[in-house]
Amino acid sequence: IPIQMSSLQIKEEKVKPDTNGEKSASFFLTEDRAAQSLLNKLIRSNLVDNTNQVEVLQRDPNSPLYSVKSFEELRLKPQLLQGVYAMGFNRPSKIQENALSEILVHPPELPQNLIAQSQSGTGKTAAFVLAMLSRVEPADRYPQCLCLSPTYELALQTGKVIEQMGKFHPELKLAYAVRGNKLERGQKINEQIVIGTPGTVLDWCSKLRFIDPKRIKVFVLDEADVMIATQGHQDQSIRIQRMLPRNCQMLLFSATFEDSVWKFAQKVVPDPNIIKLKREEETLDTIKQYYVLCNNRDEKFQALCNLYGAITIAQAMIFCHTRKTASWLAAELSKEGHQVALLSGEMMVEQRAAVIERFREGKEKVLVTTNVCARGIDVEQVSVVINFDLPVDKDGNPDNETYLHRIGRTGRFGKRGLAVNMVDSKHSMNILNRIQEHFNKKIERLDTDDLDEIEKIAN
């Protein structure tokens, strides 16, 4: 009977988003978060810089605080060490330094649970993949490590890291518990590591019994913040966690740490050690900010051309409010002879990643985009950012956070940058003033009809 109940409940949860307007709104938000996270993974090839200190909160304050500075210190199995170096990792990242010592230095009989938070690109995935690969017994042909991801695509990305890092363990196998991966009833899974989405994993552990949850040694909950934004995932994750044995090591990772994530984390990870790495603050300190007064879209375009005529702009990002403006502007700039890339909301995540990649390689010099797609993109090599439209939220108020995100720089030694805001109405002047007040940093007027003046700002 309990098996029937569980399948019924899942159905109910899936129906809810369609019957409730609020829920479906948050559903779209989730799609965005998952897409953003995937995009980040696709375009990231390096660790992000973060000069902050890692905060460590230990469950047992008397236990010594380790932090490993080398992969050797972790006493990884030789095959794993080989895998790590083959991936080009020389030293553990900040978060790995602390997380891996909590996870691996303690003996397997006394596994430590962990909740870890740090922004995307700081090396969380590699940390828990190493944890799973260290604990797994390749000779045992049943699932021993279970990893939950919010979406199929994210599960695949993590799977790739497991495969790369574990490639010197040819007998290690990985199974994907994702919708569409149908197995025959009564079958048992031989793969030692299972990675999947909560709904399917729950089915495989309970209703279908492909996995014996009592034999799981390491349980990983990845992207907890994205996870709980999806209707039903939170309950499913908790129900999976309840089936696991007491001595199973539980690890939870999240890029952000809102209250809701924190509450969820404490529900699924008993007696945790906690590791946090604060996001590096973005600042406007090294940015010269200007605004240009125009009357309409065409004048804004003209101002942009004047700017290009007067100063050498290696690479620029231009932000528009709507897709329509973005594609119009991209077309106009192309007509002027610029090599333009367009990043637009209707593009698939993989397509967006490809566009960003080309831009990074310098194949195009201008990237025109709307808000939605450009969140979370590193613009390190871009020295000029143009707000063709100022960032506003859905109520038309200034979106300070987005403004900072578009033009701000992280790191004390971040390169100097130039930001130009196009103002085309009283309303947008008002927005600009409010942004200026918010950051308490002057945004100077620039006359783009005056070539000499423009030349000056470039120095």
Q: Which is nearer to ligand ATP, 157 or 306 (CB)?
A: 157
Q: Which stretch binds ligand ATP (CB under 6 A): 118-126, 130-138, 260-268, 384-392?
A: 118-126
Q: Which of 35, 68, 101, 124 is close enough to bind ligand ATP by CB under 6 A?
A: 124
CB of 258: closest distance to ligand ATP in angstroms? Answer: 15
Q: Which is nearer to ligand ATP, 205 or 379 (CB)?
A: 379
Distance CA 189, CA 183 (A): 9
Phi, psi of 20, rounded to the nearest 5 degrees: -135, 115
Closest CA to 251 of 81, 135, 85: 135
CB of 374: closest distance to ligand ATP in angstroms? Answer: 17
Q: Which is nearer to ligand ATP, 89 or 328 (CB)?
A: 89
Size of the site for ligand ATP (CB under 6 A): 20
Q: Which stretch binds ligand ATP (CB under 6 A): 50-58, 90-98, 237-245, 323-331?
A: 90-98
Phi, psi of 367, rounded to the nearest 5 degrees: -115, 115
Tokens representing residue 436 in the block:
């200026």
Q: Which of 17, 111, 123, 408 is close enough to bind ligand ATP by CB under 6 A?
A: 123
The 355-394 site mask, x for binding ligand ATP (CB under 6 A), equals ----------------------------------------
CB of 51: closest distance to ligand ATP in angstroms? Answer: 16
Distance CA 222, CA 254 (A): 7
Q: Which of 30, 125, 231, 344 is close enough to bind ligand ATP by CB under 6 A?
A: 125
Q: Which is nearer to ligand ATP, 30 or 93 (CB)?
A: 93
Please write down the HEC assignment for all residues of 194-224: EEECHHHHHHHHCCCCCCCHHHCCEEEECCH
Tokens representing residue 205 in the block:
């552990």
CB of 196: closest distance to ligand ATP in angstroms? Answer: 16
CB of 221: closest distance to ligand ATP in angstroms? Answer: 13
Q: Which is nearer to ligand ATP, 46 or 312 (CB)?
A: 46
CB of 333: closest distance to ligand ATP in angstroms? Answer: 31
Q: Which is nearer to ligand ATP, 97 or 399 (CB)?
A: 97
Q: Which of 36, 50, 96, 370 is close enough to bind ligand ATP by CB under 6 A?
A: 96
Q: Which is nearer to ligand ATP, 14 or 91 (CB)?
A: 91
Q: Which of 121, 166, 213, 272 is close enough to bind ligand ATP by CB under 6 A?
A: 121
Q: Which is nearer to ligand ATP, 19 or 45 (CB)?
A: 45
Please write down the HEC assignment for all residues of the chain: CHHHHHHHHHHHHHHHHHHCHHHHHHHHHHHHHHHHHHHHHHHCCCCCCCCCCEEEECCCCCCCCCCCCCCHHHCCCHHHHHHHHHCCCCCCCHHHHHHHHHHHHCCCCCCCEEEEECCCCCCHHHHHHHHHHHHCCCCCCCCCEEEECCCHHHHHHHHHHHHHHCCCCCCCCEEEECCCCCCCCCCCCCCCEEEECHHHHHHHHCCCCCCCHHHCCEEEECCHHHHHCCCCHHHHHHHHHHHCCCCCEEEEEECCCCHHHHHHHHHHCCCEEEEEECCCCEECCCEEEEEEECCCHHHHHHHHHHHHHHCCCCCEEEEECCHHHHHHHHHHHHHCCCCEEEECCCCCHHHHHHHHHHHHCCCCCEEEEEHHHHCCCCCCCCCEEEECCCCECCCCCECHHHHHHHHCEECCCCCCEEEEEEECCHHHHHHHHHHHHHHCCCCEECCCCCHHHHHHHCC
User: Cβ contacts of residue 438 below 8 Å, gap of 6+?
Assistant: 398, 400
Q: Which of 93, 206, 387, 448 is close enough to bind ligand ATP by CB under 6 A?
A: 93
83 binds ligand ATP (CB under 6 A): no
Residues 226 to 255 in contact with ligand ATP, rule: CB under 6 A: 255
Residues 139 to 158 in contact with ligand ATP, rule: CB under 6 A: none
Q: Which is nearer to ligand ATP, 91 or 263 (CB)?
A: 91
CB of 81: closest distance to ligand ATP in angstroms? Answer: 12
Tokens representing residue 120 in the block:
């995307």
Q: Which is nearer to ligand ATP, 378 or 447 (CB)?
A: 378
CB of 414: closest distance to ligand ATP in angstroms? Answer: 19
The 35-74 site mask, x for binding ligand ATP (CB under 6 A), equals --x--xx--xxxx---------------------------
CB of 120: closest distance to ligand ATP in angstroms? Answer: 3
CB of 270: closest distance to ligand ATP in angstroms? Answer: 23
Q: Which is nearer to ligand ATP, 42 or 313 (CB)?
A: 42
CB of 96: closest distance to ligand ATP in angstroms? Answer: 6
Which parts of this chain interact with ligand ATP (CB under 6 A)?
A: 37, 40-41, 44-47, 89, 91-93, 96, 120-126, 255
